[in-house]
Chain A
Amino acid sequence: MRIVRDSLAGTLESSDALVRVSPTDGGERDVSINSSVMAQFGTQITEVVQDTLDKMGVSQGQIVVEDKGALDCTLRARVQAAVLRACADEATGTTDASTSVDWSLL
């Protein structure tokens, strides 16, 4: 998916994560993760975020994750919500990808 605008998903509450996505002028996908539980779960959190982005085909853009101890399922959901909000839907040509989702990719 192609990131075309800034977006935001989630919250800074405990057990959640706030995810920001921004378009970039070319370049690689740039992921920054900060977590209140980085020491124990940093590797796993990074894997979940990267895997979620891989499956959605996000190859560019800046992704910032502020994690507050979210479970994997929450993290996945927030990353996907932020990406969908930031994307144009290439399949339908509409600007909003969040209403027409290919669930098998999620």
Chain B
Amino acid sequence: MSHDHRPHPDHSSSRAPARMPHRSMLFIPASNAAMMSTAYIYGADAVMFDLEDGVALREKDSARLIAFHTLRSKLYAGVETVVRINPLDTPFGPADLEAAVRAGADVIRLPKTETAQDILELEERVAQIETECGRAPGSTRLMAAIESASGVVNAVAIATATPRLTSIALAGFDYVVDMRTTRGDGSELFYARCAVLHAARYAGISAYDVVFSNVDDEAGFLAEVEVIKRLGFDGKSLINPRQIDLLHNAYAPTQAELDRAHLVIDAADRAAREGLGVVSLGGKMIDAPIVEAARRTVRYADASGVRR
């Protein structure tokens, strides 16, 4: 697999969604009409309408239609919409994709991505549907879900397969089965998390960590969030709306961090106005990565305030 077409990790490029926080992606089984009608109110950065494992075989067709009409209704106008389709080699996958692209989903999430080829095949189909239905070519973004050893090993190739791919997500359940282990203290995911995260950073795209399934274990959830935040993940996949606020709060800067970020940005802006190069603040050099980190801190504060 060639890496020559590595995208420039240029945050000022046209890939605007990368600038939006990708802290929380809330899973909603598309067969659940009540959740589909209300989940936009919870304030997740993204919602994922699930057509795959969260939907019983009997409901695949009906869930696809619910996702289609919910997307068209613009209920989720202010939220990034992700549709997890069934794998393209199932009887459901192609129809799921057709429905999701036509209805205007922001992102198509491909489950069980093993190779870059999987993404290229998906891209080809997406491009074709865009042409057929009159959707702006290239406007459908892609997300790869890594759920196996093969996906982890090929993470870099997958992450750089196409500029349409704007995020990558690690899915823990199938992965630990593939690795002949079970979910535990997180050490079982350590390599996969690092591999996926490095691939994402190399490609300049977002990275989502696995779901934390015990919704009643708040302390356990926060401990895991602390780990993945430290590793550098943009955020997590969530299965319960109650986890959104916990997660956002954990990612929110403290008041001190926010104050410091404003100082950095003000200094940088002032320097830019005055045509200066590298500036310093309180005796410390302020270079581009520090300014970018400060801008990210402000964005997170804009999204959900300062940490409580």
A interface residues, Cβ below 8 angstroms from B: 9-11, 13-17, 70-74, 76-78, 80-81, 84-85, 98-99, 101, 103-104, 106
Contact = CB atoms under 8 A, between A and B. Distances in A.
Contacts of B62: 9-10, 77-78, 81
B102 A103 contact: yes
B190 to A, nearest CB: 40
Contact of B33 (A10, A80, A84, A106): A10
B98 A103 contact: yes
Interface string B9-35: 000000000000000000000000110
A103 B99 contact: yes
B65 interface: yes
B143 interface: no
Nearest to B31: A11
Given A70-B37, A103-B102, A106-B68, 8 more contacts: A16-B33, A71-B73, A77-B66, A78-B62, A78-B66, A81-B65, A99-B95, A101-B98
A77 B99 CA distance: 12
Given A76-B69, A77-B69, A106-B68, A71 B61 contact: no
A16 B37 CA distance: 9
B73 A73 contact: yes
B95 A74 contact: no
Interface string B90-128: 010001001100100000000000000000000000000
A103 B34 contact: no
B181 interface: no
A84 B64 CA distance: 12
A81 B69 contact: no
B70 interface: yes
Majority-rule SS of B interface residues? helix
8 contacts: A16-B34, A71-B75, A77-B62, A77-B65, A78-B66, A81-B62, A99-B91, A106-B65
B38 A74 contact: no
Given A10-B62, A81-B61, A106-B65, A73 B91 contact: no
Contacts of A73: 37, 66, 69-70, 72-73, 75
B156 interface: no
A36 B70 CA distance: 21
B36 interface: yes
Nearest to B129: A103
Contacts of B37: 15, 70-71, 73-74
B276 to A, nearest CB: 54
B153 to A, nearest CB: 34
Given A14-B34, A103-B98, A84 B73 contact: no
Question: Which of B33, B37, B75, B91 has the largest number of chain A CB atoms within 10 A?
Answer: B33
Contacts of B65: 76-78, 80-81, 106
B135 to A, nearest CB: 12
A11 B70 CA distance: 17
Nearest to B65: A77
Contact of A74 (B33, B99, B102, B133): B33
B95 A101 contact: yes
B33 A85 contact: no
A41 to B, nearest CB: 14
Interface string B223-245: 00000000000000000000000
A91 to B, nearest CB: 15
